[in-house]
């Protein structure tokens, strides 16, 4: 991910010049992050001959098939409705704990 981010940063900064392994290495190293030359080489081999717009389009099509958790807002609404019952249940648990203390002994006595 760091290689992609550095590559896109360089591409955005100067669209007329294609980023190289050397310039990507400089950007990542300037951030204090170690560069794995082998992985960086694999990244450049994978994007060789492709344009940024093509890479972004391919990435978007791959992300479209990933579940994004669209049901979370509906679940959050249901959880909020059940939130009123949760304090009552918590109060019951606390009462039970207090009743244990009345027995005259503790867990670690």
DSSP 107: T
Sequence-ordered alpha helix ranges (H) in 14-101:
21-30, 37-47, 52-64, 72-82, 85-101
Dihedral pair phi/psi, residue 70, rounded to 5°: -60, -20
Q: What pLDDT does residue 41 have?
A: 94
Predicted local distance difference test score (pLDDT) of residue 43: 92
Residue with the bigger pLDDT between 96 and 10: it is 10
Tell me whether residue 17 is exposed, middle or buried, using C-beta atoms within 10 angstroms of its C-beta: 0 to 12, 13 to 18, 19 or more: exposed
pLDDT at 68: 73
Kindly report, residue by residue over 49-95, the tens digit of the pLDDT. 888 888 888 888 888 888 877 655 555 555 555 555 555 555 555 55
Judged by average pLDDT, the poorest of 20-34, 63-77, 95-109 is 95-109
């Amino acid at each position: 991910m760091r290689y992609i981010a550095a590559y896109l940063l360089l591409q955005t900064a100067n669209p007329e010049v294609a980023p190289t392994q050397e310039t990507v290495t400089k950007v990542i190293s300037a951030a204090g992050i170690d560069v794995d030359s082998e992985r960086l080489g694999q990244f450049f081999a994978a994007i060789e001959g492709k344009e940024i717009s093509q890479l972004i389009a391919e990435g978007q099509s791959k992300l479209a098939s990933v579940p994004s958790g669209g049901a979370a807002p509906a679940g959050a609404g249901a959880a909020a409705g059940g939130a009123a019952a949760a304090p009552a249940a918590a109060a019951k648990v606390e009462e039970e704990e207090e009743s244990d203390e009345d027995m005259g002994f503790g867990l670690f006595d």
